[in-house]
Amino acid sequence: MESQLGLIEQSFDLRYSGWVREALNELPDSFTITDPCISGHPIVFVSNGFLKIFGYSKDEVIGRNGRVFQGPETDRRSVMEIREAIREERAIQISLLNYRKDGTPFWMLFHMCPVFSKEDGRVINFVGVQVPIPKRPRHSGHTAVNSCENGAQLYKGAFRCCRREVCSDTVVELGRASALDSVSNPDDGEVGINDPCEARELEKRKANAAASNILSILTRYSELSGKLVCGKCCSVSGMGLLGSSLNISLGRIKQSFVLSDPHLPDMPIVYASDMFLELTGYARHEVLGHNCRFLSGLDTDPATQYQIKEYIRTEQPCTVRILNYRKDKTPFWNLLHISPVRNATGKVAYFVGVQIDDSCKNQEENGLSPHRRQLGVVGAVKVAVRSLSMGASTS
Amino acid sequence: MMLRIKRVPTVVSIYQKEEAEEGGCGRNCLRNCCLPGAKLPLYAFKRVNKISCDSGLVDFEDKEAPVAFLDSLLLGEWEDRMQRGLFRYDVTACETKVIPGEYGFIAQLNEGRHLKKRPTEFRVDKVLQPFDENKFNFTKVGQEEVLFQFEPSYDDEVKFLPSAPIDVENSPSVIAINVSPIEYGHVLLIPRILECLPQRIDHESFLLALYMAAEAGNPYFRLGYNSLGAFATINHLHFQAYYLAVPFPIEKAPARKITTTNSKVKISDILNYPVRGLVYEGGKTLEDLSNVVSYSCICLQDNNIPYNVLISDSGRRIFLFPQCYAEKQALGEVSPELLDTQVNPAVWEISGHMVLKRKKDYEEASEGNAWRLLAEVSLSEERLQEVKDLIFEAIACNIDDDKGVTPTSLEGSDVTTQSLEDADALTGSHPSMVPA
């Protein structure tokens, strides 16, 4: 857990210079900043405004994932919408039931937006703003019925307004059927505490303003550190090897593996896991764009290398034992499993190579043999690549 | 009058045949001929009663390895069977896409799934039919098709044994592959396989399915159930499951609360979706949620109403669809155009995942087409209301005892004071093997 907290401190300190935390805390609003690149997508910064509203102390919040503030009455569909927004790296504004430390629930307008790195277009943070929605007695007018009972309607309206301000993408019209307008409300009268609650323009404005201010501060402090950020998705260069959501998904697989692209000249590595870097001693930028052969050296058996080439050519999975070398030139026997990975078109898009250090090969983890764990990686990669290339993200 | 339709059954096991089997086989199956002495991996899951943590601030991430583990195991075993050639085709070689539109229906072109065989007759007017040993059942599958036994752990610790004997006296539940997969990782959960239960939901089995969904902890790993008469073809109790890392259209549909049971399970109408149905969520414990749904299913079974169930959101949201397509088909009420697509609207199709056999249908797939097809499946508003009345009565009798179901009650003041944690991945916030 310590290294996790260490990573969390680092995440902010490396990206933004000096007094960024103080600057952020000058804002009165309730908000959190998360880092999707750290396992668990934890909160890396929490405002004093947040702590006041939710009743937690800073140490109880940093390192946690935002879902801990949800509870049994939180609408699952809304949770799903937020999850999809994170995955698609877009902003969202949605009413959500959250819970304070003392267990009491309350409605708030949740406004979330991504923060992109200017250099490589990756999402480095998500900003989440919480604007409490005070309880109001429901009036039986047509508009109130539409807005309160219908989560979809709510989502549509809120989302559209947010997108316009935060992202430069074209807005996708939801165009829901007008059948929704005629949904009758059997619960006329008193609003139960956990009935859906719409934010008014006031709350939306507050949320937009807060997000905007936070983004300005982050931008300013990133300039000072030299690692610029921005609120809009900049053109992706350098990183451009894999879509960001695939990158993030693959980042959750905690084993050594790489993805290579056979359609690019010399089949370069387009993704390398953290554990691969740990195993081989290389830094990410030293391996991306290069063919895996750099791992081989003087005593590597050329016959094995040829064998690998053949399997790749025939798009067959294979397991070989090959002598590889780390960056520091120390050799290790690599029990390497390679498999073709298809995307949604059904055609091979990548090859995945999963490495096991042979000296560890008899180590069972939880009863699962290393080979089985290799296959588990292959399966996880196949699901991710196929699913995330299925196209049209419908907002 | 008996209602029947003709369709080509999907082959889910290598050893599935239509004719009666003769005894003994030498095929390494799960019957008495081959079972004695057989061993299979065993995954003992923790019976999560709430998807929460009792000590409030203990982070779920602390239990990293076991939570990711079921995913890793299932995917690894599945990939192993892929490489051993046990599947009839490589499903990842089948083109698939999300259809542009509001809901994002998912279409797949799969010409190899359905056999070019003579269609068989299926009775569709009886949801409850007795188990018939002569027909295909899952004890006839080869042991290599079984990935592992899936049983509760008795000391609340997740355990995995790579090779464990099979307790014939106390039949284990197992996970087996579906050799005609709809997607990567398509498996069958067969509760208490050796007991040869017919395809009908009971409390224990449904709870097992929910435990599996919760244990996998992956919102993109969903379980589904088809009753007889709603396109189940094998009358041996089973659920299906697979991975697809995109949201299902049904999951995007809005819902309007109808009621909350005394056990805090919220039951809602599904709105703005071609198939009418109910969605269940909440409950003080997983068992509460499970019971409300299983009582609903049992009620439908007892009233001979075919239905499908989708378990989504790691076991937190459950969709129930009573349907009538098969009946319409038997009565000749479905348009030939729809029949030509040969899409049998079972749980996955209803949820928005369409597997299409003809290139033409795949290329012309649109939200409008999908909607039109699914609209045929749905009960009418009036009929659904009748069904709902039956269900609520059943729930009232069984769950809420003499207190009765309170239609709009919501014990707002009765909130828990614990900080509850979810096991699902908001963005893969716990490191499940399958990226979310």
Of A196, A230, A264, the residue that ends a domain is A230
Cα–Cα distances in Å, from B276 out to A152, B354, B381? 17, 18, 8
- Do A267 and A201 belong to one domain? no
- Do A193 and A282 belong to one domain? no
Domain count, chain A: 2
Which of A1, A376, A391 shows the shortest C-beta gap to B98? A391
In a domain, A247, yes or no: no
Beta carbons within 10 angstroms of residue A173's beta carbon: 10
What percentage of chain A reaches a pLDDT higher than 90? 53
Look at A138-142, A265-269, B169-173, B222-226 and tell me which has the smallest mean pLDDT. A138-142
Single-letter residue type at B276: R
Q: What is the CATH number of the domain that holds A336?
A: 3.30.450.20
Run of H or E including A334:
strand A331-342
Distance CA A256, CA A275 (A): 4
- Do A142 and A14 belong to one domain? yes
B426 close to A (CB below 8 A): yes
ipTM for the whole predicted complex goes beyond 0.90: no
Q: What is the mean pLDDT of residues A158-185?
A: 32
Contact A41, B436 (CB under 8 A): no
Asked if B97's CB is within 8 angstroms of A383's CB, the reply is: no
In a domain, A86, yes or no: yes
Distance CA A336, CA A323 (A): 10
- Do A283 and A224 belong to one domain? no
- With b for 16 or more beta-carbon neighbours within 10 A and e for fewer, the B386-410 pattern comes to ebbebbbebbbeebbeeeebeeeeb
What percentage of chain B reaches a pLDDT higher than 90? 56
What percentage of chain B reaches a pLDDT higher than 70? 82
Q: Are strands A269-272 and B307-312 parallel, antiparallel or unpaired?
A: unpaired
In a domain, A244, yes or no: no
pLDDT-based confidence at residue B30 (cuts at 50, 70, 90): confident
- Do A14 and A105 belong to one domain? yes
CB < 8 Å to A150, chain B: 254, 256, 271
CB < 8 Å to B415, chain A: 71-73, 99, 103-105
Mean pLDDT over the full length of chain A: 80
In a domain, A59, yes or no: yes
Residue B311 clears pLDDT 80, i.e. is over it: yes
Residue A151 clears pLDDT 60, i.e. is over it: no
Distance CA A279, CA A256 (A): 7
- With b for 16 or more beta-carbon neighbours within 10 A and e for fewer, the B176-196 pattern comes to bbbbbbbbbbbbbbbbbbbeb
In a domain, A153, yes or no: yes
Residue B32 clears pLDDT 50, i.e. is over it: yes
- Do A191 and A257 belong to one domain? no
Q: How many CB pairs under 8 A join A and B?
A: 252
Contacts of B264 (CB under 8 A, 6+ apart): A72, B282, B283, B284, B288, B411
> Which chain B residue shows the shortest CA-CA distance from A250?
B435
pLDDT-based confidence at residue A316 (cuts at 50, 70, 90): very high
CB < 8 Å to B429, chain A: 40-42, 65, 67
CB < 8 Å to B161, chain A: 367
Q: Is B337 strand, coil or helix?
A: helix
- Do A69 and A201 belong to one domain? yes
In a domain, A276, yes or no: yes
Distance CA A384, CA B221 (A): 12
Partner residues linked to B19 by β-bridges? none
Residue B421 clears pLDDT 60, i.e. is over it: no
Domain of A19, in residue numbers:
2-230
Mean pLDDT over the full length of chain B: 83
Asked if A63's CB is within 8 angstroms of B415's CB, the reply is: no
- Do A136 and A194 belong to one domain? yes
Residue A104 clears pLDDT 90, i.e. is over it: yes
Question: Whole-model pTM above 0.90?
Answer: no
Contact A30, A129 (CB under 8 A): yes
In a domain, A246, yes or no: no
Q: What is the pLDDT of residues A249-278, one digit of tens each?
A: 888 888 999 999 999 999 999 999 989 999
- Do A285 and A192 belong to one domain? no
Contact A79, B426 (CB under 8 A): yes
Asked if B80's CB is within 8 angstroms of A368's CB, the reply is: no
- Do A9 and A84 belong to one domain? yes
Which of B94, B160, B420 shows the shortest C-beta gap to A71? B420
In a domain, A235, yes or no: no
Beta carbons within 10 angstroms of residue B420's beta carbon: 20
Contact A277, A283 (CB under 8 A): yes
B238 is catalytic: yes
Which 8-state DSSP code applies to residue B420? P
Q: What is the pLDDT of residues A278-307, one digit of tens each?
A: 999 999 889 999 999 999 999 999 999 999
B251 close to A (CB below 8 A): yes
Q: Sign of dihedral through CA atoms A226, A229, A233, A238?
A: positive
> Which chain A residue shows the shortest CA-CA distance from B53?
A68
- Do A205 and A313 belong to one domain? no
pLDDT for res A238: 43
State how far residue B98 is from chain A, nearest Cα, in angstroms: 6
CB < 8 Å to A105, chain B: 415
Distance CA A85, CA B273 (A): 22
Of A160, A195, A230, the residue that ends a domain is A230
- Do A178 and A70 belong to one domain? yes
Q: What is the pLDDT of residues B371-403, one digit of tens each?
A: 999 998 899 999 999 999 999 999 988 876 544
